Structure 1
Amino acid sequence: MVENILYIVAAYLIGSVPFGYIAGRLNGIDLREHGSRNIGATNAVRVLGKGWGIPVFVMDFLKGFAPLLYMKHHLGGDLTAFTPEQMGWFLGVMFALILGHTFTCFLKFKGGKGVATTGGCLFALSPWVGLSALLFWIVSMCITRYVSFSSIMAGVGMIAAAAVELIVMDGACSVADGMVLGLLTLILILVTVKHRANIVRIMNGTEPKAFAPKN
């Protein structure tokens, strides 16, 4: 038990590493004072350019993917064979990684919106769920060109895909399955709350669209 608690603490600290903030500082810029004032990859692309924004996304993705994949194999590797206790520890690490990114202890608990790190966690959880969330994001982006709205739609996609994989394909819903769906729902709520300002701007018609021509 102590070992697994330490894994959760380590996961939070890993998730807390603010790669966007670091990239900004390397360029003499505090991302919290520019663009959307967020340290995530989207604002890094807007303020610093793709040359810095894409590496920020990759690192935010990997800090979710790599630790959770390690935890998955540490617990046996087969999610379908996890006991409720094992699933609890696994999901605890997953949530700690995402909370670290969104509420980083290194920046007074003001972090990013959790999308890239959640994406990394999803691919470690299940490639099917990760790819489904990505597909929802791509389709939404093609239709709306709003990164924020598409991120929320990706969250809807991850829950739908997880429900299909865990319940429909298996033909039953175990306690561990319910724990997964419960956490994914909580993550969707968290991501939506973190995007509340974007939602208001979309409703007001002031949210910038991706790939929009610059004046």
Structure 2
Amino acid sequence: MTAWIVLYIAASYLVGAVPFGYLAGRCGGLDLRKEGSCNIGATNAWRVLGWRWGAPVFVLDFLKGFIPVFGALHWLPFLTGDSAGWDFNTAVVLVCFAVVLGHTYTCFLGFKGGKGVATTAGVLFALNPAVACTALATWLVLVGISGIVSLASILAAVAMIVAGWWMYPLAEGGSISPQVLYIAFFTLIGLLVIFKHRSNMARLFNGTEHSFYSKKSK
């Protein structure tokens, strides 16, 4: 792995680490870490600051996942010399991990960041639109039915894992396929998203989780 690839991975982490939700809150005179669900992600930004701040935060969190991965897919082949082998796929997957971990464990806020949903969505749409659309469809249906974003996000993460295992081969020509790296990414990041929603799961179990269909949070 060349120094340029290592620098690109490091830069991807830093891009992912930009806390747009926190910055939006500061612009609105609030610290999102102390408001609403105490999270700097787009959902809490929308809930606390309104759609005029929440929508841009979502778009920016999405783009900071999409742009580094899209760039890696189109630029790294020139550095690795191929677009299908282990070197290329390893580099791309490391970029994917870096940008999501940058968001969820941002170095700019003491390694405490968002839950990774919007940024993971950006990564997925750059990496594999079919997997992305599967997760998105799951999210939209569940938000439409329940109005509970956290529940939709958790089950969308499960759908992402299942779709990844379904669409990517474990082996090709009798050998382990480099595509197994993407299965590992979908699985680990899906589990990370679920883990980051553990407080939401506690509220779901005791019936106090916020729903957009309720007039106010319980």
Q: What TM-score, normalized by structure 1, do the two folds share?
A: 0.92
- Give the match's secondary structure for 1:112: coil
Question: 2:5, 2:76 within 8 Å by CA — same for their partners in 1?
Answer: no
**Separation (CA, whole Å) in 1 of partners of 2:57 and 2:174:** 39
Q: Which residue of 1 aligns with 2:189?
A: 187
Q: Which residue of 1 aligns with 2:32?
A: 31
Q: Which residue of 2 aligns with 1:69?
A: 70
Out of 83, 89, 96, the position equivalent to 1:94 is: 96
Question: 1:147, 1:209 within 8 Å by CA — same for their partners in 2?
Answer: yes
Q: Which residue of 2 aligns with 1:203?
A: 205
Q: Which residue of 2 aligns with 1:103?
A: 105
Runs ≥4 residues deviating over 3 A? 170-174
Q: Which residue of 2 aligns with 1:41?
A: 42
The RMSD of aligned alpha carbons is 2.1
Gaps of 5+ in 2: none
Q: Deviations over 1:114-147 (max 9, x none)?
A: 0000000000001111111100111222233221
Q: Which residue of 1 aligns with 2:148?
A: 146
Amino acid at match of 2:54: G
- Give the match's secondary structure for 1:38: coil
* Displacement after TM superposition at 1:171 (Å): 10
* Displacement after TM superposition at 1:163 (Å): 2.8
**Separation (CA, whole Å) in 2 of partners of 1:58 and 1:166:** 28
Residues 159 and 49 of structure 1: CA distance in aligned 2, closer, same or farther (over 3 Å): same
Q: Which residue of 2 aligns with 1:212?
A: 214
Out of 127, 130, 137, the position equivalent to 2:129 is: 127
* Displacement after TM superposition at 1:160 (Å): 2.4
Q: Deviations over 1:56-93 (max 9, x none)?
A: 0000000000111000101349xx95211211110001
Q: Deviations over 1:148-188 (max 9, x none)?
A: 111111112222222333239x9998422211111111001
Gaps of 5+ in 1: none
